[in-house]
Amino acid sequence: MFTIGGVDLYVHKYMGPIAKDDAGNADATLPKYNSSNPLFIEDLLLLENRDRAYDPDIYVMRGVYRTQDIDFDLTQFGLFLNNDTLFITFHYNNMIDTFGRKLMSGDVLEVPNLKDYNPLNEAIPRALPKYYVIQDASFASEGFSQTWLPHLWRIKATPMVNAQEYKQITDQPFEPENIWDNGNFYPGGTVVNSGNQYYTAIKNVPPGTDISNTEYWQLKTDPTTVTDQMSTRPKDLEINDAILIQAEAVVPKSGYDVVKFYIVPTNEDGTPADPSTYTADYTLTDASRTVSNMNTTPRGDGYTEGYLTGDGKAPNGLPVTAGISFPPTPELGQYALRLDYFPNRLFRYNGTSWVKIEDNVRTQLTPGSDNNTLRSSFVNNTYTVQTSDLGNVPSRQSLSQALVPKADNGDQGGNFPPKPYPNTQPDQKSS
């Protein structure tokens, strides 16, 4: 039945977690194995085998499964497609003789008869393989004989996704199946396989040209992988980047933009001042400006002050002197932006002192180097702390590293190059 009515299935044998020679961290939940065994568990806390080792040899076995049409499962809430799960039956004795053990959860099946020979992307050089991962296995009910001995092994398999567990399989080259032959003619651009290395023809290659001839052949150092052709990750990244670009255009910064609002200047007693005495049209060198009209610059953000409204800009578009120190000869009502404060702070000179107006707390919402907030600088702190006994200890450490017991003498993780926090002024750090 299996020889005539079955189909060849290529099996990638799961060998267990990848063996690691290094001692690693002293974490009892992450044991280090010097050999691979499917009974080992890589992470005893989360019960995961994230870094899996697979046999480089591919096993060919005959199996039988029932093909099915697209059908909707109405037994649950909503509509669910149930045609992505295969139940495949193998002959038990043949499986043990060929595979050496029973098929188990973690083994990967490649179903050749389900290859996609006509992918929508015409640039794909080969037919797309179809991979399934075994989720469960047991004896098939129809495989018991009159002596109650089982003869069939049934597995449940679901489509394989581009995950860390199957990295050894998805990182395999996915190039055209052209085995290099010295006697063949190859047009320019042809990719051939020679000793599991891929070469690209620079130009038309005449017969008899050796693969080492750099005039005609170029080694392809980054061959296309299964992940590149089958994974949805590149398309997901493209979608995500497009959403981020549009989101930054619609909402470029956090908080609220109050630049467009006009702030009424006030006198010292709080009464409204003449709004025509000083506007953004005046410059610092305007000879018509006097102490009386300079005093009418807004003393604050007025009614626009709110949560995350500070942007470091003077009200009504008035000029601002930016720097790491205050102007030496300020004038009444002048604004100064201190760049050495973090976040930058806007001040106004009232004749005797510099009065704080606001902090530039508006920043980009997308994480990155331009997201200069106290929270992001704290979380993404890349600087080191110099100690007398532990060396240069990184300021940013994962929780698993911070909770590992360490001796309080010797160089315990302090072998980092010095990178002290930069001073904004002599003997002064950012606020």
Do residues 337 and 427 share a domain?
A: no
* 205 or 398, which is more confident: 205
pLDDT digits (tens, 9 = 90+) for 306-333: 888 888 899 888 899 999 999 998 988 8
145 with 13, same domain: the answer is: yes
Residues 277, 392, single domain; the answer is: no
Instruction: Give the range of the structural domain holding residue 134, as residue numbers without chain letter.
Output: 2-170
pLDDT at residue 297, rounded to an integer: 83
- Classify residue 50: in a domain, yes or no: yes
Structural domain contains residue 376: no
For the cut 60, the answer to whether the pLDDT of residue 427 exceeds it is no
> Average pLDDT of 353-365?
88
- CA 410 – CA 311 distance, rounded (Å): 47
* pLDDT of residue 288 exceeding 60: no
Please write the tens of the pLDDT for every residue from 6-30. Answer: 999 999 999 999 987 665 555 788 8
User: What's residue 2's pLDDT?
Assistant: 87
Does residue 72 register a pLDDT over 70? no
- pTM for the predicted model, two decimal places: 0.63
User: Would residue 238 count as lying in a domain?
Assistant: no
Q: How far apart are CA 209 and CA 273, in angstroms?
A: 89
Residues 406 and 430 in one domain: yes
- Looking at the structure, tell me whether residues 164 and 179 fall in a common domain: no
Domain end, chosen from 151, 170, 189, is at 170
Higher local confidence (pLDDT), 401 or 139: 139
- The answer to whether residue 242 sits within a structural domain is no
What does the pLDDT look like over 109-140, one tens digit per residue?
Answer: 999 999 999 888 887 878 889 999 999 999 99
Name the token pair of 134: 């075994």
End-of-domain residue from the set 334, 362, 390? 362
- Beta carbons within 10 angstroms of residue 31's beta carbon: 14
Q: Report pLDDT digits (tens) over 44-70.
A: 988 999 999 999 999 999 999 988 777
Work out how many domains the chain is built from and give that number. 4
307 and 351 belong to one structural domain: yes
Residues 192 and 279 in one domain: no
CA 159 – CA 116 distance, rounded (Å): 14
pLDDT of 277 over the 70 cut: no
- pLDDT value at position 412? 53
CA–centroid distance for 364 within its chain:
19
Based on the fold, state whether residues 227 and 261 are members of the same structural domain. no
* CATH number for 180: 2.10.10.90
Domain contains 247: no
Question: Do 43 and 177 reside in the same domain of the chain?
Answer: no
How is the chain split among helix, strand and coil, in percent rounded to 5? Answer: 15, 25, 60
Mean residue pLDDT of the chain comes to 82
Residue 201 falls inside a structural domain: yes
**Boundary (domain end) residue, out of 152, 170, 188:** 170
pLDDT tens for residues 377-394?
777 777 888 877 777 888
Looking at the structure, tell me whether residues 162 and 178 fall in a common domain: no
What digits encode the pLDDT tens for the residues 151-201? 999 999 999 988 889 999 988 888 877 889 988 999 988 888 888 888 999
Does some domain include residue 6? yes
pLDDT above 90 (res 423): no
Whether residue 212 lies inside any domain: the answer is: yes
> Rounded to an integer, what is the distance from CA 350 to the centroid of its chain?
50
Same domain for 66 and 164: yes
Q: Mean pLDDT, to the nearest integer, of 241-256?
A: 89
Q: How confident is the model at residue 100 (pLDDT cuts 50, 70, 90)?
A: very high
- Spell out a b/e string for 248-278, using b for 16 or more CB atoms within 10 Å of the CB, else e: eeeeeeebeebeeeebebbeeeeeebeeebb
Q: List, as own/partner pairs, every contact residues 151-155 make where C-beta atoms lie below 8 angstroms and the sequence separation is at least 24, other chains included.
A: 151/91, 151/92, 151/93, 152/89, 152/90, 152/91, 152/92, 153/89, 153/90, 153/91, 153/92, 153/95, 153/102, 153/103, 154/87, 154/88, 154/89, 154/90, 155/87, 155/88, 155/90, 155/103
Same domain, 39 and 159: yes
pLDDT attached to residue 281:
46
Report the CATH number at residue 124.
2.40.10.370
